[in-house]
Structure 1
């Protein structure tokens, strides 16, 4: 299922269901192919119309795309059916079906008979369904990226690689704390106001995923002890 907004070059996938999603060796579908199938008529087709790839294959004026041909070859796709669910001056919605075998004429008729029901169901859907699906997809990707870059508990906060991605000022604050200075001592040593130091601390707490000063000091001192132990072992 996909949506194409007129200011975009290509349609955006809204939802996908792949019968071979559990097959580790199968190439998974990553984009819609409605534009590849419909060609010139992509932005001109009206709602409730259905388009069969097999009808185009016998048309000498229709030119396939390399992306579509690669997809058909890797997954042995014989037929792609595109249904225009809705259309307006701003956007169009599509649903497409991919088949690993050619469809019989009777099967095409059955699909065409199903189109009005699909269109009515789509027009009667809950408002905001597509937008919510897109937002959910972005949220999933954002969470996955955040999890990938999450600071590991055993990582040294003051390590050379700066695993918490501290700013230069935040790193200096942690160094001062590791030397036993209090917040007031840090302000005097770095010539900063107490408010500025506490702002740095709040950012440090967030980046290192600690609840406050006691846990931060534990992480700093623990990582320093671990680093010292590793250095002794290498000597």
Structure 2
């Protein structure tokens, strides 16, 4: 059993409010995103849920480390970092790029470690056999910034600050390269339940999310919220209520 004192450079740990940890929710940020996006999530779950928010290299506490630009390498690293936490049921939630990463981690856990995740929750991202990568990273910083502004992520606000620009851009460059080189391939199913989430005004459509049903041998469910690609900002409470009910 992992002790509460054990730390991990790959995860910022948010312990459950009161009581002993009974299960874990691993949260995987979007391109350019950080673990801070999931601050306060643990407060919304009952039943002893500990939130592990992934800390990708090249940002925040890991700002001095080189960013990772390949999905396979990132999935390998996250999976390896999860091994000490597999003594309890693990759920995986990923938004946008994080959804693809969650799927790859789920596959590795099952195939390489014999561990079946308790659930895979994918948000605002096409299924792995339907992804259509954009070569945004080939257009340089200007193209990356334009895409960030178009999608409306919180990183757009940081780019307006000259003091933060040089801190934010390396992670954005790396993540957009990672997303832009992650190509569709045959649907290899996981054995855990999969749940899809999407905003009704996102360019990623409910039909795109429905294709995730092809990559599980268990159940699939889909929930559509009002909003765009970052619906989970305005719909945070509704999303967390839904997640909490499913994890419980």
**TM-score (norm. length: structure 1):** 0.25
Structure whose alpha-carbon radius of gyration is higher:
1
Q: Tell me which of the two structures has the higher relative contact order, counting C-alpha pairs closer than 8 angstroms and 6 or more residues apart.
A: 2
Larger relative helix fraction? 1
Larger relative strand fraction? 2
